[in-house]
Structure 1
């Protein structure tokens, strides 16, 4: 059990919090065999007026975890989503973007400017893998760039980090994320090592930022991470509430169960689509899992367990597939 002081923000009336990793990975799909990237997603609006910094890991380990530079392709995709000076007009206002790389220290490859400038994508493409992993330096440099950009920072700013490793100084990374959150900057992490995860303190800081944290478990997950960030809302003004209950193919997301509550997640399935789920308890507490489409139960745990739970589902129809996770180990007071 975790002491209540470990996650005070989550434990208003309870004594423990549970961290649950949900890994969604469709395989052998009869409806989406050519790609796992979700294409049936929409966002409410894209009117720009944002201050955004893309922070990209260039440590040497990226040669192993991202040999095809998928993180760079995803970063270019996110940059292309932004409103350029040439696209601005009417209700659409131009965004501002900067690109920061980091290994043993941070460095700027594209200073604050127009996302439509070809030099932005060229700078992203030019990032090479070499050195250590000092994520906090990249986040702090991103904050400096956002503060230097014209206009208000609060609620219209975002930092999006692509990395594969834990920071050399976890406490400093948490401080950097918290500083950004205090300024009204939403911070999101795309994590490219499916074999491990960020420390709990980092996950909590990202949750408080209302950004997203997801492990990119499969090739298509890199683009779906971008989709996830946009669904959640790149900034507070894009979507103040976020969309943390959505599951996308190729991503593993982390959730928290507080008290005797239930984590409810949803995935938009196509009829006949086969979906594989893996449920992991980071804290070693027992979990119950149920998957339903409408009133039809497609999977239910035979008993609560702390062991990894893996199950296949074939969607009986098109629509929302719901996954519910509870823990009998959560205190009820």
Structure 2
């Protein structure tokens, strides 16, 4: 198994990303990977020309291929994984049939374009069929990157549930990018919006891609997968690391990932992480800072605002003992936890729910970090300095400075 390096982590600026920690015990040294069967499904509809104009979904797919074990890297304990690449617009296309996780798979990702309409259900069907044909048992997983502009929610949920029944874990990276259409001024904005609506693109009125339907995220989480809303370019790649830490398949649980149906796990800066509150079970999210004096804000939101559930969220810095708590319910659907942390300090956000009434009950956690910068005040001047002509009475030449 290869480990992803700095390519998945943003450089430290005003908003500093997390160094992720897997939930629970660390990965055992003798972790046995019997070989996973993975399908990477990419949205190739016309809307991705603007919602993912940097082709970050392709970069994310390549990072997943790099993480998988190719035939040339396989050992007795770490057997080879296989991967397929599926793209979809109005119809699906198998860009790379289930095979070795090698450079050819990465080249297939480069062939994914941005044109046509959007039929996510058909894309899921094609990816699931690639995995199911290998009879993977509990070693199957699909990861989809999409902006979610498809009205056939029933068909999408049906395919996710079908995957779950087959033991295939589904993870969903939902892009929610600002509108970056062409043209300028009112006419350019209107025409750009019309173009994107025709091709299945961004909402011309709101300037954002479609929201992730609660039924879809519920089905994804129930399959054991990760459902995240990606709001910026770097967080799309960090989503991949979140999927890896959670586990690409149900079998990854014994190698440090979460068991099926659990909420919790690593939190990523600027990535919205969804959790299920229907089971009234505790969820533990973890975060480890990279920069000194990170000012942390964890926004807790009740997605299912009609639910009678009560959510108590508690932030704890394990090293310093700093804590904060917030309660969220339909009377107060959002709250924030705040604190400060430094590298090497482990942070936990623990979610406890009670009085949930339905399987559709969901909440979200958003992490935002800011690096604190200290400002040092310079010494006050000891005297008044006056610049005047050299021939003025009492004038003295200024000293010569050389750099």
User: What SS does the corresponding residue of 1:319 show, helix, strand or coil?
Assistant: coil
1:120 corresponds to 2:105: yes
Indicate the residue corresponding to 2:13 in structure 1.
33
1:50 corresponds to 2:36: yes
User: What SS does the corresponding residue of 2:253 show, helix, strand or coil?
Assistant: coil
* Whole-angstrom CA distance in 2 between matches of 1:102 and 1:315: 42
* Whole-angstrom CA distance in 2 between matches of 1:168 and 1:324: 35
How much is the aligned-residue C-alpha RMSD, in angstroms? Answer: 3.0
- The answer (yes or no) to whether the contact 1:85–1:114 under 8 Å persists in 2 is yes
- Gap change, CA 1:308 and 1:33, over 3 Å in 2: same
**1:175-324 superposed matches below 5 A:** 175-193=158-176, 197-239=211-253, 241-242=258-259, 244-246=263-265, 247-258=267-278, 262-270=282-290, 271-284=292-305, 288-294=312-318, 296-301=321-326, 305-310=331-336, 312-315=338-341, 318-324=344-350
User: What SS does the corresponding residue of 1:220 show, helix, strand or coil?
Assistant: helix
More RCO (CA 8 Å, sep 6+): 1
Number of residue pairs aligned between Structure 1 and Structure 2 = 299
For the pair shown, the structure with the greater C-alpha radius of gyration is: 2
**What is the TM-score normalised by the length of structure 2?**
0.66
**What is the TM-score normalised by the length of structure 1?**
0.78
- The answer (yes or no) to whether the contact 1:47–1:83 under 8 Å persists in 2 is no
- Gap change, CA 1:120 and 1:278, over 3 Å in 2: same
Indicate the residue corresponding to 1:72 in structure 2.
58
Indicate the residue corresponding to 1:24 in structure 2.
none
- Gap change, CA 1:310 and 1:166, over 3 Å in 2: farther
* Whole-angstrom CA distance in 2 between matches of 1:134 and 1:87: 36
- Gap change, CA 1:186 and 1:303, over 3 Å in 2: closer
* Whole-angstrom CA distance in 1 between matches of 2:93 and 2:328: 50
* Whole-angstrom CA distance in 2 between matches of 1:176 and 1:259: 23
* Whole-angstrom CA distance in 1 between matches of 2:296 and 2:273: 16
- The answer (yes or no) to whether the contact 1:48–1:83 under 8 Å persists in 2 is no
Residue of structure 1 aligned with 2:121, choices 123, 136, 154: 136
Q: CA deviation at 1:330?
A: 4.5
- The answer (yes or no) to whether the contact 1:103–1:134 under 8 Å persists in 2 is yes
Structure 2 unpaired stretches of 5+: 1-9, 178-207, 358-403
User: What SS does the corresponding residue of 2:252 show, helix, strand or coil?
Assistant: coil
Q: CA deviation at 1:161?
A: 0.6
Q: CA deviation at 1:280?
A: 2.1
- The answer (yes or no) to whether the contact 2:33–2:77 under 8 Å persists in 1 is yes
